[in-house]
């Protein structure tokens, strides 16, 4: 089955850039979606199809994908960005797969 | 506005069944699929399966095959997820989510339904 690997935690100071990685075998050949989940809330789609943003998602959120790593980048991080972030792909052998999640802490 | 509104929290006994509903509004129901995703306390997201609201086709996660059934009622624009033979590790928040495009992204989520399974 297909596996997505995320770091458990990432810390960043306000105003700096946070990068959250998602590793998977040849993930660069797949479409990657990213979700933000705040405590007690449902997930919110922040990036789809590698780098597209749904309406209402700030331009500070961007995505990239190449080789075996996809990356969610959050520029000019704000306190309100503190949340869990999950990557997700569809794989022909495993159907929908989520990464284990990364807790973003804003220092 | 597009909304998915789920049924309320449930407490179930070991071995029982549960059925969660997900009422869709604000978009053409049959134009999108619905997936179900669950999250055990303090854990990550787990995909459970998908149903086409257009024709009822389904795809279930392998680990839940035989215990889960997803259905839709187009007359009420409601999706349902039934899980049988409940055990303690089925304790989780259950979400429905609208599926968009070939990217299989989940762009709209329900508010979640907490289901607790106890002996």
- To test the contact with chain A by mutation, choose from B35, B92, B105, B113 the residue with the greatest count of A C-beta atoms within 10 A, namely B105
Stretch (H or E) spanning A18: strand A18-23
Of all residues in chain A, the one with the smallest CA distance to B36 is A96
Of all residues in chain A, the one with the smallest CA distance to B106 is A45
- Strands of chain B, DSSP E: 3-6, 10-13, 18-25, 33-39, 46-52, 58-60, 68-73, 78-83, 92-100, 105-109, 113-118
State whether residue B112 sits within 8 Å of chain A by CB. Answer: yes
Q: Least CB-CB distance to B105: which of A45, A98, A100?
A: A45
State whether residue A85 sits within 8 Å of chain B by CB. Answer: no
Read off the pLDDT band of A32 (50, 70, 90).
Answer: very high
- Asked whether the beta carbons of residue A43 and residue B109 sit closer than 8 angstroms, the reply is yes
Read off the pLDDT band of B105 (50, 70, 90).
Answer: very high
Q: Least CB-CB distance to B104: which of A37, A96, A101?
A: A96
* Pick from B34, B103, B98: nearest CA to A33: B103
State whether residue B114 sits within 8 Å of chain A by CB. Answer: no
- Asked whether the beta carbons of residue B109 and residue A98 sit closer than 8 angstroms, the reply is no
Sheet (strand A69-74) strand order: A18-23, A69-74, A61-66
CA distance A101 to A61: 17
Q: Hey, what long-range contacts does A53-58 have (CB within 8 A, 24 or more apart)?
A: A54/B107
**Range B10-16 average pLDDT:** 96
Check residue A5 and report its DSSP letter: B
β B113-118/B92-100 pair status: antiparallel
Of all residues in chain B, the one with the smallest CA distance to A30 is B103
Task: Look at the block and give the residue holding tokens 């789609």.
Answer: A45
State whether residue B105 sits within 8 Å of chain A by CB. Answer: yes
Predicted pLDDT at A5: 98
- Asked whether the beta carbons of residue B107 and residue A98 sit closer than 8 angstroms, the reply is no
Give contacts of B110 with chain A, Cβ < 8 Å: 42
Angstrom distances, CA of residue B21 to CA of A43, A50, B60, B77, B106:
18, 31, 17, 10, 17
What digits encode the pLDDT tens for the residues B14-25?
999 999 999 999
Whether the pLDDT of residue A93 is over 90: the answer is: no
Read off the pLDDT band of B103 (50, 70, 90).
Answer: confident
Q: Are A102 and A23 in contact (CB under 8 A)?
A: no
């Amino acid at each position: 089955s297909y596996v997505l690997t995320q770091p458990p935690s990432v810390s960043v100071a306000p105003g700096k850039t946070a990068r959250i990685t998602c590793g998977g075998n040849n993930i660069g050949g797949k479409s990657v979606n990213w979700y933000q989940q705040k405590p007690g809330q449902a997930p919110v789609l922040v990036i789809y199809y590698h780098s597209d943003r749904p309406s209402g998602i700030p331009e500070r959120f961007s995505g990239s994908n190449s080789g075996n790593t996809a990356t969610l980048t959050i520029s000019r991080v704000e306190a309100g960005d503190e949340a869990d972030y999950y990557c997700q792909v569809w794989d022909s052998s495993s159907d929908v797969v989520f990464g284990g999640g990364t807790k973003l802490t804003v220092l | 506005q597009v909304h998915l509104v789920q049924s309320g929290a449930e407490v179930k006994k070991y071995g029982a069944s549960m059925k969660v509903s997900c009422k869709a509004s604000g978009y053409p129901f049959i134009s999108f699929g619905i997936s179900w995703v669950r999250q055990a306390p303090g854990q990550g997201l787990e995909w459970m399966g998908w149903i086409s609201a257009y024709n009822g086709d389904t795809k279930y996660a392998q680990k839940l095959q035989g215990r889960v059934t997803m259905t839709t009622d187009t007359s009420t624009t409601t999706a349902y997820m039934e899980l049988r033979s409940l055990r303690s590790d089925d304790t989780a928040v259950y979400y429905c989510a609208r599926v968009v495009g070939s990217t299989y992204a989940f762009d709209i989520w329900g508010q979640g339904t907490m289901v607790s399974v106890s002996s």
